[in-house]
Amino acid sequence: MATVTSSFSFSTLTQSSSPRNLSTLSSNSPTFRIRVGFSCHYVGVRASNSASKIVVRCSSAVAEPPTVSETKLNFLKAYKRPIPSIYNTVLQELIVQQHLMRYKRSYRYDAVFALGFVTVYEQLMEGYPSDEDRDAIFQAYIQALKEDPEQYRVDAKKLEEWARAQNPTSLVDFSSREGEVEGILKDIAERAGGKGDFSYSRFFAIGLFRLLELANAMEPTILEKLCAVLNVDKRSVDRDLDVYRNLLSKLVQAKELLKEYVDREKKKREERAEPQKSNEAITQQQQFSSL
């Protein structure tokens, strides 16, 4: 029989993403996508009375994820104004940690992770001199990781509003109900249970903590039940929440020191300005007297 030879090429989208430490501190789809190119060729089709055989050879090339340096550079390009050192030091460390989470192979964006990051960011940037700059920094940070800052905000707000309407019982019993947030949590539970990509991180733990906080469900037993239905290790969550609390305590202390420093500098400037004002007043008086 005749041999038929043809070729085609196509591209598909897949995920790629890595966790590290919070202690030192997307796009139109909830998942980051890296383009993978495939080239497949039918090298032959043979048919006979007994069987037919198709031979296909495929090769693929996966784009390399960006380096930490590239992500940091993207951030600096997107936000070019100077950032006070107390904020910048933590932001630079955070972006390194989140880069590693982001490009871990099993990473998949989810709304609880987004809520956790937004919670950390708001705590970190509380008291920042300019609300406009604070939002611009957030935009630059998330875009540097090649995700959608608006999606982070929308999903975080959605979960916050949902949690405020819950109580300890309904929060844990989400799997028995229908709804948008309930669907999000069910999807996380399935993936964390081994039915898909799921990468636990400290931002995820903080997102859970925020849900409990807003639902007034801070009893340890509620956290234990919620971790169980989400198929998440409670020991890891407890450990990471301890790190988060310590971080917040350090941030509060650092901001107090910064405020004291700013107040001292302001007082010094005022004291230096006093003699100059007195001299100017005397000069004006002398000029007036000579008229």
Q: Name the residue type at position 178.
A: E
pLDDT exceeds cutoff 50 at 178:
yes
pLDDT band at 278; cut points 50, 70, 90: low
At residue 289, the pLDDT reads 63
Full-model pTM: 0.69
pLDDT band at 291; cut points 50, 70, 90: low
pLDDT exceeds cutoff 70 at 62:
no
3-state secondary structure the chain: CCCCCEEEEEEEEECCCCCCCCCCCCCCCCCCCEEEEEEEEEEEEEECCCCEEEEEEEEEEECCCCCHHHHHHHHHHHCCCCCCHHHHHHHHHHHHHHHHHHCCCCCCCCHHHHHHHHHHHHHHHCCCCCHHHHHHHHHHHHHHCCCCHHHHHHHHHHHHHHHHCCCHHHHHCHHHCCCHHHHHHHHHHHHHHHHCCCCCCHHHHHHHHHHHHHCCCCCHHHHHHHHHHHCCCHHHHHHHHHHHHHHHHHHHHHHHHHHHHHHHHHHHHHHHHHHHHHHHHHHHHHHHHCC
At residue 277, the pLDDT reads 65
Task: Determine the average pLDDT of the residues in 60-76.
Answer: 85
- 53 or 21, higher pLDDT: 53
| Lowest mean pLDDT, pick from 44-58, 113-127, 178-192, 272-286 | 44-58
pLDDT band at 287; cut points 50, 70, 90: low
Per the CB < 8 A criterion, the answer to whether 193 and 186 are in contact is no
At residue 24, the pLDDT reads 37
At residue 25, the pLDDT reads 37
At residue 282, the pLDDT reads 65
At residue 279, the pLDDT reads 66
* 16-20, 227-231, 247-251, 255-259: which is most confident: 227-231
